[in-house]
Structure 1
């Protein structure tokens, strides 16, 4: 067999591996920041089912500790849970050192931590400086800090992936508060900018949900969900598993995509 034939055969084999559907995540390590939340937990389950070893972060509260430990017990295997706060970069750096010592690698980072508080858009005085700062600290700075902290490990993977949670509020301007909309618009810009600077070793994507049936937004109940369902083309609101499926697809299917924001909203933004 000629050298050219061998080269062509190897290229074909590599291409076949890249386009396998779905791509296995066996041997990969994924970190789900905010893994004790509804979307984070659903994502952790799906990444583990795809073969990845999953580490999750949670806040140091009784509720989050219990949720995280229940999730780790449910998925079993070599997965782990760790206390960290995206608003505290020192805790992220400590986590990075811990993951390096425990697993020796990181291939996937999912930014699923977030915070919001409903504020009517017309009530300008209710959107205080303190609330604006907290909204940006957790929803934008925290996601950037996580990427900054783990960028070296993701680059070392050679096949790194970052998926951040955005929202259609980023471009519709309709969301729990004006500050929340602005923070999510910042996630979209960050995704595009970091996709350029971290390539080719790391792909950077964002998943942009519409309304999702979780307890993320305080005060939203059945009446709100029913109203949204009626006005959404697919006639239902999203489930945490819908968002998790899109995140998992970024790792297992969309391997030639970077810098994009993927809408998962049932057509609500139309």
Structure 2
């Protein structure tokens, strides 16, 4: 059976690396993106170069109508077998007391509500079984004091979502797992106002360096693949020892 997998936030960082890795592993890939069409189309070009079908679909995952359109586009390729819930944002790094309500609401909407909406669509459509991987964060257990406690709290909710869905969807042949990356070299740090964070934080990472998107993508591909057929409800930490 052909693997058809949606990767949200698939135009950059971990999402882009995952889409490319999945294509190499035999998946047709739907790349969800919010703003950067050119980046998403570049990923799709790589998917097709690997010999598989790819399509880029604009979607704000916090909007249920746009999420439905994303999943409808995937249905055009065949029955859905995989979902990588990766689209996410942070807000400016800073003290918890300075957190603005609009930043809080956007972080919750994208990183939690968006994951729920996408997982809900996947649960409805994976009629032949499948696998979901939620991209969480090591922040869920570290708390991210002085940086973004609210983001860490939302990622802790992602871990709980993963465990609960794994138990509920197991009878339907749907596995649900998560990866919890630490500090990975992506542009999310620039968006939070600390573009050099992967380098400045290296001293407190036991392995002595930030991670690379491909190092997370490999774990996601494993959790979606046949070698993880008895793995569900797991949160795989990829954080260099943090």
**2:122 match:** 150
**2:71 match:** 96
Displacement of 1:74 in angstroms is 2.1
The Cα offsets for residues 176-207 of structure 1, whole Å up to 9 and x where unpaired, read as: 41110111011001001111111131000010
CA distance in 1, matches of 2:215, 2:4: 22
Contact 2:47 2:53 in 1 (8 A): no
**2:214 match:** 241
Query: Which entry has the higher C-alpha Rg, 1 or 2?
Result: 1
CA distance in 2, matches of 1:225, 1:73: 28
Superposed counterparts of 1:106-145, under 5 Å: 106-121=80-95, 123-124=96-97, 126-145=98-117
**1:31 match:** 6
Superposed counterparts of 1:53-92, under 5 Å: 53-59=28-34, 61=35, 64-76=36-48, 77-92=52-67
**2:229 match:** 255
Contact 2:7 2:31 in 1 (8 A): yes
The Cα offsets for residues 8-39 of structure 1, whole Å up to 9 and x where unpaired, read as: xxxxxxxxxxxxxxxxxx72111101111211
CA distance in 2, matches of 1:221, 1:127: 19
CA distance in 1, matches of 2:199, 2:53: 40
- Specify every segment of 5 or more residues in structure 1 that has no aligned partner in the other structure, as ranges: 1-25
Instruction: Choose the corresponding residue for 1:40, options 4, 11, 15.
Output: 15
SS at match of 1:95: helix
The Cα offsets for residues 46-91 of structure 1, whole Å up to 9 and x where unpaired, read as: 00000111111111x3xx1000111111221311111111111101
Contact 2:4 2:74 in 1 (8 A): no
CA distance in 2, matches of 1:209, 1:37: 15
Instruction: Choose the corresponding residue for 2:160, options 189, 193, 202.
Output: 189
Q: Structure 1 runs of 4+ off > 6 angstroms?
A: none
- TM-score, scaled to structure 2: 0.92
Alignment pair present for 1:172 and 2:142: yes
- TM-score, scaled to structure 1: 0.83
CA distance in 1, matches of 2:199, 2:19: 28
**RMSD value, Cα:** 1.5
Structure-2 change in CA distance of 1:233 and 1:119 (3 Å): closer
Aligned length: 234
Contact 2:206 2:240 in 1 (8 A): yes
